[in-house]
A and B are shown apart, each in its own frame.
Chain A
Amino acid sequence: MRHECRLLYFWFKMSAGPYNYSYIFKYIIIGDMGVGKSCLLHQFTEKKFMADCPHTIGVEFGTRIIEVAGQKIKLQIWDTAGQERFRAVTRSYYRGAAGALMVYDITRRSTYNHLSSWLTDARNLTNPNTVIFLIGNKADLDAQRDVTYDEAKQFAEENGLMFVEASAKTGENVEEAFLETAKKIYQNIQDGSLDLNAAESGVQHKPTQPGRTNLSNDSQTNRDNCSC
């Protein structure tokens, strides 16, 4: 057990180590199943397109350090399962997100039609300053386009969202979407509209451990003591 503790300690050291970054921003990626959320994350963190990406059953976690206005910022990105049956569970992950990337597939209108429902969740479950960025993915499949740029652009404007069409396959605009979101969050911090002290700002000013999340406020009920 001592050995295990030591290893854990090292792991902690690495994950919370003295990296020179000033902020941690938490992002979530949401949207229908199969719109390419995980591929966007993969493209952003690894600069590679993941063909045959399996459906995410759970919440993937990725991280990357970026620079905004000379400040190093660590992005902690939570990529959520898109399947409807997990919707109730993935709602647990919205809280404390500084940025939400809401993704649809330009070749499947249904994924676009569901945006208002995703947007409702994002608005209800995050704080008012959370930057919501709309991404129309699969821009490389222009021939199969089912949603026009203008239509989505208008939707974004009506709802006050930032918007690009991107391609996780070619990498087009992927970097931009993640970075523009960070810039906007950073700007919100600079002009004071995002209160870092608020528990759910999604921004940490000091490096801490990434993944520790209890999905609910209550402390863990230890069911091992439950006798039947």
Chain B
Amino acid sequence: MELTPHVQEKLHAGHKLTAVVEAGLVQDFIKNTRVVALIEVASTNVKQGGEQALLIFLTARVPVHSAIDLSIEQVLPVDTNLKCEIDTSSLDVDTDVLVNITSGKVRLLFEMPFSQRTNAFVSEILRAAEVVSKRRGPPPEFAWLQPYQKSSTPSQDPASPGSAPTTAETLDGLGGDAVSLGDVSVDISQNLPSTYPDPANCNTENSSVHTENERSPDLGVNRHSIATGLSPTPIAARESHIRYQMAMREDAYTDIQEFTVFVGTWNVNGRSPTVGLAEWLAVDAEPPDVYAIGFQELDLNTEAFLFNNSPKEQEWLNAVLNGIHPKTKYRKVRLVRLVGMMLIVLVQEKHLAYVRNCAIDTVGTGIMNKMGNKGAVSVRLDLHNTSICFVNAHLAAHQEELERRNEDHDCIFQRTCFHLNITSNSPPKTIKDHEHIYFLGDMNYRINPCDMNIREVASSGEFKLLLQHEQLSQQKNAKRIFHKFKEGNILFKPTFKYDVDSDEWDSSEKARQPAWCDRILWYGDSITQLEYRSHPQLQISDHKPVSAIFMAGIKVVDTRRYRRIYEEVMKKLDKLENEFLPQVTIDTTEIILEPVKFYQSQTKYLTIANTGQVPVQFEFIKKLNDVSYCKPWLTIRPYSNFITPGEKCDVSLEVLVDKQTAAQLNSGVDQLYDILVLHLEGGKDLFITITGDYERSCFGSSINALVHMNKPFRDVPVAKLIDLESKQPKELSEMPYAVPKELWYLVDHLHSHGLQVKGLFTHPGLQKEIFEIRTCLDEGVEHQVLPGSVHSVAEALLLFIEALPEPVIPYSLYQAALDATPNFSLCKEVINKLLDYHRNVFEYLMAFLKELLNHTEDNNLDANTLAHVFGSVLIREPSAMAGSSDRRNQNQAIERKKQTFVHHFLMND
């Protein structure tokens, strides 16, 4: 489906569609289709040139057929806050890619097909984000996006013909009475933060954090979308969701605890630590919880420069360990060094257990943009649940190299990248991915020339005037560097440049101007600076060390609450999973049949309604040891089917007691009772009981039983019927009939009324009349008259013979009878082996058939036809063999033999 033209139609003049993709927005376990488009302001507009944004559209139907199907749900400007990550943790899902898009507190997880288009789309976003990260000058304001954001209200920009009707149409479609697009996104307003974060104003964002959290995605299922049935696809990334849900609920299981963080920086000018560092590191009354101590120009030797090994590393580490606060014990978390830049992070021993995911990185920005004489060394870690990053930088030197310093700054932010080995499934982190960032070092920003005597003012303590000309502050205020970072008020003398071992300004030929080269900045909520100072007592370098003390609010996990919330999340996911089990309701679990009569079918209906949230495949399944899923007198149509949510399926249950099943019911071996097991694929089973009474009939009763019944079948007690049908009946009649009286009534009727009727035994009877004949035979024939036409009586006779549980030629003699067909005397031998009543029946029937043939001129019957019709009912193959010989010509040969067998008796004798 080509989306591009439809999306293009939604855009305002001058805005270009860069890429578009259809994706599943994953909220909890539900995937809803969205169309995600990357758009750009045309580059002709110089002021805003190159700004990009993501538009996320709701889709009224899938696939999208026109622009009307699309309505804007979210607008995300591509700014420095926007991140796009491929969730690598679920790459084992072979067909889809999970793409995380975050912008401030807005976090969206998309499932995109593993395709070229997705690849291109993600590449475009990443490229757009990279462009933004390299952008110079003040952050863009994205004013051009306002029309899209406004499109969520009815007051439409008249310049956008496509949008206005869209909104209205979508609203109508949902039958909503709300006046805004807000109704279209009923669920979204509950589930998704739709606030548009202002990238330029960090305070706004901070203050809105709380409300956004309250509106953040919850586990509530988007039922609306399920109801509409637009591919409510449950997805597989459960683990990813648990992490996501836990992150969203962090506030609920963490407490903010205040930690003191000591951050120090010192350019030591290649000197060795010949003095103690306590005057720098341990001047406060209480020991800090965390130390981050950065050095620059630790070693100016070529050796260090080229091969990056230096004896100074150990010297200074020892000096640090000796100089830190003596009141408590510290443990080293990480030490990282690149040439002269070294960063040591220490924590109080008691905190070490809560420090996780430590990682380091170094970035060289020196010659060829990679040598390590300038650049930064960084350490990141998670302290309890707060991610912290320390960056120790040494930027380009010299008064005039302002722009190079700015570039070094950009380069450090772009290139610093931490790979967390421990949890390999989390993506690499950049500096900005941290909640707390401390940026320290010799920034080398100077004081611009001005009409003051810098040295004099610097010595006087009137720094305010001087600071107006300070490069770093100027650049930061212009939002060129350290965007969103904070720095405390500088109340100390410039820390550069002094004559070594003195507090005198540089007296060398170069006579460098004093400058606040050594600085400490921070980023992050809940950090307060308590101290920002220099330590001029330490004189061994041409720089003075600087330190800052911070009070940092660290999120400490309350294990009990964490456990509880984790279990809550798990439980909700389990609940969802259970809700996604197939569910149906059936209109009845007890089917009660009206009295069932022989050969008279009865149909009941069962309605299976899919009341669950997923499609259901149902099937009636077999019970233990059963050969089929229901009794042979029952036919279920369909016995297996597929039902989509909200749909129903009618299942017919046809009960028919026929010649094959009647005998079992007559003899009491079987009953009209069955429990059906309705199985839902991947889910539960339902039992359906079917019960009824069978009205026993002479049809399906055996010759041996019938000859002992000298009153109407219906008048014989059931117990006696069952007894007579058993192998060794206890109660036999003293005066049995020669043949069953029912057989006699049928034959006699035909003899009296049918000898001259054309088409006898070839013309079909009427079912209704056959039922009447059956009832009449069962209840007792009055005046020897059967109801119905002779054709119906003829058919009833055949049915009667065929329904005999033991055929006239018994199963035991079946093969012998077939084998005897070449020869009449062999056939007679088979008949002689028959038990009395069976032989009586056979001879009685043959005599009747011969009588019929005596009236050939009237009834047009011939021996072949009669032999064929009667052969097939008198000689029946045992059911065990019926299945095996299913080849047609074999069957034909057998039918012919049966015919021949009977034919012998009609023609000879």
Contacts and interface: CB of A to CB of B under 8 A. Distances in A.
A185 to B, nearest CB: 19
B624 A91 contact: yes
Interface string A54-65: 000111111111
B675 A215 contact: no
Interface in A34-65: 45-47, 57-65
> Quick one: which of A15, A63, A86, A221 has the most chain B CB within 10 A?
A15
Given A17-B93, A58-B684, A46 B578 contact: yes
B101 interface: no
A215 B677 contact: yes
Instruction: Report which residue of A47, A210, A228 has the largest number of chain B beta carbons within 10 angstroms of its beta carbon.
Output: A228
Interface in A60-91: 60-65, 81, 85-86, 88-89, 91
A195 to B, nearest CB: 23
A20 B685 CA distance: 27
Contacts of B678: 58
Nearest to B675: A89
A210 B614 CA distance: 15
B668 interface: no
Contact of A57 (B93, B577, B614, B687): B687
Nearest to B645: A7
B90 A18 contact: yes
A69 B678 CA distance: 37
Nearest to A64: B574
A101 to B, nearest CB: 17
B732 to A, nearest CB: 33
A215 B589 contact: no
A89 B687 contact: yes
Contacts of A141: none
Contact of A89 (B93, B571, B677): B677
B239 A19 contact: yes
Contacts of A45: 574-575, 578
Contacts of B397: none
A214 B637 CA distance: 19
Nearest to B678: A58
B869 interface: no
B681 interface: yes
B628 A10 contact: no
Contact of A20 (B235, B239, B578, B622): B239
B239 to A, nearest CB: 5
B623 A216 contact: yes
A95 B644 CA distance: 31
Interface string B92-111: 11000000000000000000
Given A18-B236, A218-B627, A4 B615 contact: yes
Contacts of A10: 233-234
A210 B237 CA distance: 18
B623 A88 contact: yes
Nearest to B96: A13
B235 A214 contact: no
Interface string A1-25: 0001001101111110111100000
B689 interface: yes
A50 to B, nearest CB: 13
Given A10-B233, A58-B687, A61-B581, A46 B575 contact: yes
A220 B621 contact: yes
Interface string B653-681: 00010101000000000000001011111
A209 B683 CA distance: 10
B70 interface: no
A213 interface: yes
A151 interface: no
Interface string B278-296: 0000000000000000000
A226 interface: yes
B626 interface: yes
Among B574, B636, B675, chain A packs the most CB atoms within 10 A around the CB of B574
B207 to A, nearest CB: 36
Contacts of A19: 236, 238-239
Nearest to A210: B682
A92 to B, nearest CB: 4
B238 to A, nearest CB: 5
B680 A211 contact: yes
Given A57-B589, A63-B578, A213 B679 contact: yes
A216 B684 contact: no
A214 B682 contact: no
B629 A220 contact: yes
Contacts of A223: 628-630, 635-636, 639
A72 B672 CA distance: 47
Given A14-B234, A61-B581, A216 B682 contact: no
Contacts of A215: 621-624, 626, 677
B234 A92 contact: no
A214 B623 contact: no
Nearest to A62: B578
20 contacts: A7-B644, A11-B234, A11-B615, A11-B682, A13-B236, A14-B234, A14-B236, A17-B236, A58-B687, A59-B684, A59-B687, A60-B684, A64-B578, A65-B574, A81-B687, A89-B677, A210-B683, A216-B622, A221-B627, A228-B635
Q: What 4 A-B pairs have minimum CB-CB distances, sorted nearest first?
A: A17-B236, A58-B686, A92-B624, A14-B234
Given A47-B571, A61-B581, A210-B682, 19 more contacts: A7-B644, A8-B615, A10-B234, A15-B682, A19-B238, A57-B686, A58-B678, A59-B684, A61-B685, A64-B578, A89-B624, A89-B687, A209-B682, A215-B621, A215-B624, A216-B624, A224-B639, A226-B635, A228-B656
